[in-house]
Amino acid sequence: MRYFLYELFEAQNRDDVVGEALVKVDAQWEENVAAYEHVFTSIHDRLPTSIVQHFSGWGFHDSRIINIEFEQTSFLRLHVHLTISNAAARKKDEKLSRLSFQDVSHFQFQHLNARNDASVLQLEMDDWLYEEFLPIDDNTLSFEVLLSSSANILIHFPNHGVTMTPIE
């Protein structure tokens, strides 16, 4: 993550960061939000309109990834599908979406907080916090998502190579 840094999120939520230190962290967060919004706006034409509209708001904030599926159609063609739950309190109100990336050139999963003894991708603790769409070059974008456990997923894909569909 370039803008929504885990370290800033962690500092904002720690009891020992108070006073001037917290003011400084909050100011850095606001500066990063403004910088990211500028970058995201600059790549709107490289993303489907539905993706721009969805991620111009809260995106999937407070949702949960409940499945990651890899689909390899040939040696050089990999598609990645994230099944996302809105994490509704009542199961009958739950809405699922599928965020799909076509022709993925890079996929990385890491745990940014090695001090955390709990494993990553635990449904009871792994809410979706923030995501970033960033340019890599003229033809490639990156998508990165940060989860509350500090799990981090990074995907590189070609322009317009992402779709979102509701799951009925």
Higher pLDDT, 11 or 25: 25
Report the C-alpha gap between 79 and 22 in whole angstroms: 41
Q: How far apart are CA 84 and CA 28, in angstroms?
A: 29
Q: What is the pTM of this model?
A: 0.88
Q: What angle do CA 152, 149, 123 make, to 5 degrees?
A: 100
Other CB atoms within a 10 A radius of the CB of residue 30 amount to: 10
**Over 60: is that where the pLDDT of 124 sits?**
no
**pLDDT tens across 21-62, in order?**
999 999 999 999 999 999 999 999 999 999 999 999 889 988
pLDDT at 120: 46
